[in-house]
A and B are shown apart, each in its own frame.
Chain A
C-alpha cells in the first residue's frame, strides 16, 4: 500500500520567485543538507517517461504483477532523479502533465483531495494493476485551472473521485517519488485519442505559463514532471516474458538517431532550437511529446537556455525514453554539439509512422 503523506498543504506561502536564473549565472548556494536555499517557484523540471514496464520492473508493493526486473538503466536514472528531488529540490508539490489522461475537450486539473483506488491499465493490464492513494494540493490545482482559464484555455476542474487515475500520471509520480509523501497536482493532456493528431503545442505552452503563474501566486516550491516518451513507434506484439531484455532495442535506427539529436540539443542547452525541433521530431518519430507534456514543462520553466541533464536513455518496447532534469539554479554542464552539426538526421528511407508497426 502506498503511504499517504502527512504534510498540510497550502500553509507555506512564500513571496514569488523571480525570473529563472539565466545561463552562466552562479549556481544557487547549497544548504547544509545539499538542498539549495531557493525560495518558492518552479525549482526544477523533469522529463519523466511513464511506460508501465518501469513500475512493473520495480515490483513495488502497490503493484500486483511481479517481474524479474529489466530496463535497469532507466530505473537507475530515476533513482538519481529521486535523490535530487529529495535532497536538493525538496518541493512542496510535484505537478505532472501526463498524456494518458486524455481529455478530448479542454485541459483538466485533478482537484480531488485524495485520489485513491485500483488502476488496472486497459492497455497493459498484465503489467500495471496499481493501488494508488495520494494527496492533491487542491489550492494549487485550483489556481492552475483558474490561471489557465484566464489565459484563454478551455478548462475543467475534476472533483469527481470516481475517475480512475491513468498510468502515465501514476508512472511518473511513482518513479519520482515511490513514497508518495509529496502532494501532487495532476493535469490532463487535451488530445484526441481516436485520430493520430498532435496536441496544440501552443496551448500546451500557454498551460505551462499558467502553471508557472499559479505556482508563484500560491507561493509553492514546485517540481514539474512532463511525462512523455520520445520516439514512439513500437512493436505491436510483446515477447512472452515482457522483461526479456534480449528483445529490447530501438524500434529502428531512424528513431534512435532522431532521439539522439533531440538529446544533443538538450545537453548543449540549445532550448530555443529544441522548441523549433520538437514538431520535426514528432513528425519523424510519432514522438509522444506530441501530447504536449514536454512543451508544457519547458514553457513553465521559461524555455531556459541551459543544458538539461540527461540522467538516462533507454528503449521500452522499442520507444525512446529519457529521464532529464532541468535545474535553472544549478544547470548541468554544457556538452556542445560538434562543429557543423545540425539536428535532424538526413534519412530519406524513414518509415511512415502508424502504418502497422511490426517487431
Chain B
C-alpha cells in the first residue's frame, strides 16, 4: 500500500508557545500524537500541503533538498512563538517525480529552489510537531488559491502515483485551520475562545461528518462552509487529503479547539 494514512493539523504557531492556552497545548499534544500514529504506519516520506504557502500561479513544488534558516512571522513576531528556526529534509526524488506526474496530468508544476526562500509558518510548525526528529523526509506543494479546489485533489493523486512508481510509502499531511475568523484584538492565552458560535457550530458539524466517514458530504459543503465560517482556504486542505485516497474511511478527531478564535483540529485517517 503506497498511502499509509493522512492527517489534518493546524499551522498556527501558538501551538509552540512557551506558555500556551489550554487549547493550544491540547492541540499541540494531539498533533504530536497524530505524527506518532502516522509514523507507526511506516511511511518512507510525508507529503505535505500547507495553506500558509499559498500561491496563485501553477503548483509550486519545493525541490531544495535542505531548506533551512530562521523565519519571523509577520503577524506574531512579538511573541516567543513568532520566531522559528527550520531545517527541512526534502525528498527531492519524490518531489521531482510528483511534479513530473502533475505535468503529465496537465498541470503547471513549478520547481522552487532558491536560497533564502521563506518557508511558511504552517510547514515549520507542523514539522516540529508531527515529526520532531525529522525521521522522514518530506515533499511539499503550495496551495494554489486560484485553482479549482478539485485540482488540489488531483495534485494529491499525482503524489500517490509518483510515490507508487518510486516504491515509496507515504503519509499525507495537510496543514490548515478550520474557521479562520480571528479575535481582532491582542489577547492573553487564557482569553482564547470562539467568539462566533456559528463558526464553532460549523466546525463541529464538519468534524462530526468526517468522523462518520462522510468525507464527500463535507467536500460538497466546502463553499457554504467558507461563506458561513470563513473556512481556511475554502477547506482546500480536505480536497487535497481526499485526493490521496486516504479519507475513504471514518476519521479520528483527536482534538478540536480555538487558536486566537479560529477553529483548529487534529484529525487522522488510518487503518484500524
Interface on A for B, CB 8 Å cutoff? 101-106, 118, 120, 122-126, 129, 154, 156, 158, 160, 162-164, 166, 188, 192-197, 234-238, 317, 354-357
Decide yes or no whether B54 CB sits under 8 A from chain A.
Answer: yes
- Distance of A288 from chain B, by nearest CB (Å): 12
A145 to B167, CA, bound (A): 56
Partner of B118 from the list A120, A192, A354 (CB cut-off 8 Å) is A120
- Distance of B86 from chain A, by nearest CB (Å): 13
Who on chain A is nearest to B229 by CB? A195
- Distance of B225 from chain A, by nearest CB (Å): 10
- Distance of A247 from chain B, by nearest CB (Å): 12
Partner of B114 from the list A106, A120, A160, A355 (CB cut-off 8 Å) is A120
* CB <8 Å contact, B185 and A105: yes
Who on chain B is nearest to A125 by CB? B114
- Distance of B79 from chain A, by nearest CB (Å): 10
A-B contact count (CB 8 A): 113
* Residues from chain B with Cβ under 8 Å of A106 in the complex: 184-186
Partner of A105 from the list B70, B116, B186 (CB cut-off 8 Å) is B186
* CB <8 Å contact, B77 and A158: yes
Q: Could you give 20 example pairs across A and B, Cβ below 8 Å?
A: A102-B74, A103-B74, A105-B185, A123-B56, A126-B110, A154-B185, A164-B72, A193-B54, A194-B177, A195-B180, A195-B181, A234-B56, A235-B146, A236-B56, A236-B58, A236-B147, A238-B108, A355-B148, A356-B146, A356-B147
3 nearest CB pairs, A to B = A356-B148, A162-B72, A195-B230
Partner of A118 from the list B116, B146, B177 (CB cut-off 8 Å) is B116
A144 to B70, CA, bound (A): 29
* Residues from chain B with Cβ under 8 Å of A103 in the complex: 74-75
A106 to B260, CA, bound (A): 13
Q: What sequence of 0s and 1s flags, for each residue 112-123 of chain B, a beta carbon within 8 Å of any chain A beta carbon?
A: 101111101000
* CB <8 Å contact, A192 and B181: yes
- Distance of B100 from chain A, by nearest CB (Å): 16
Decide yes or no whether B144 CB sits under 8 A from chain A.
Answer: yes
Residues of B56-76 whose CB lies within 8 A of A = 56-58, 70, 72-75
* Residues from chain A with Cβ under 8 Å of B260 in the complex: 105
Decide yes or no whether B29 CB sits under 8 A from chain A.
Answer: no
* CB <8 Å contact, B180 and A194: yes
Who on chain B is nearest to A356 by CB? B148
Sample of 14 further A-B pairs with CB below 8 A, known A105-B186, A124-B57, A194-B177 = A101-B74, A104-B182, A122-B55, A125-B114, A126-B110, A129-B114, A154-B186, A160-B83, A164-B118, A166-B74, A192-B182, A196-B234, A236-B144, A317-B57
Tell me if B's interface is mostly helix, strand, loop or mixed.
Answer: loop
Who on chain B is nearest to A117 by CB? B116
Interface on B for A, CB 8 Å cutoff? 51, 53-58, 70, 72-75, 77-78, 82-83, 108, 110, 112, 114-118, 120, 142, 144-149, 151, 177, 180-186, 226, 230-234, 260
* CB <8 Å contact, A357 and B232: no
* Residues from chain A with Cβ under 8 Å of B181 in the complex: 192, 195
Who on chain A is nearest to B78 by CB? A156
* CB <8 Å contact, B58 and A160: no
- Distance of A133 from chain B, by nearest CB (Å): 15
- Distance of B111 from chain A, by nearest CB (Å): 9
* CB <8 Å contact, A162 and B112: no
* CB <8 Å contact, B112 and A195: no
A3 to B5, CA, bound (A): 52
* CB <8 Å contact, A195 and B232: yes
- Distance of A127 from chain B, by nearest CB (Å): 10
* CB <8 Å contact, A162 and B146: no
A156 to B82, CA, bound (A): 14
* Residues from chain B with Cβ under 8 Å of A123 in the complex: 54-57
* CB <8 Å contact, A195 and B75: no
* Residues from chain A with Cβ under 8 Å of B226 in the complex: 195-196
* Residues from chain B with Cβ under 8 Å of A235 in the complex: 57, 146
* CB <8 Å contact, B77 and A162: yes
Among A122, A197, A357, the one with the most B-chain Cβ atoms within 10 Å of its Cβ is A122
Partner of B57 from the list A102, A120, A195, A236 (CB cut-off 8 Å) is A236
* Residues from chain A with Cβ under 8 Å of B148 in the complex: 355-356
A28 to B198, CA, bound (A): 55
A6 to B189, CA, bound (A): 43
A356 to B148, CA, bound (A): 4
- Distance of A186 from chain B, by nearest CB (Å): 11
- Distance of A322 from chain B, by nearest CB (Å): 20
Who on chain B is nearest to A101 by CB? B74
* Residues from chain A with Cβ under 8 Å of B83 in the complex: 160, 162
* Residues from chain B with Cβ under 8 Å of A124 in the complex: 57
* Residues from chain B with Cβ under 8 Å of A237 in the complex: 57-58, 108
A299 to B185, CA, bound (A): 23
Partner of A120 from the list B58, B108, B117 (CB cut-off 8 Å) is B117
- Distance of B127 from chain A, by nearest CB (Å): 17
Among A160, A196, A237, the one with the most B-chain Cβ atoms within 10 Å of its Cβ is A237
* CB <8 Å contact, A122 and B57: no
A126 to B110, CA, bound (A): 10
* CB <8 Å contact, B146 and A234: yes
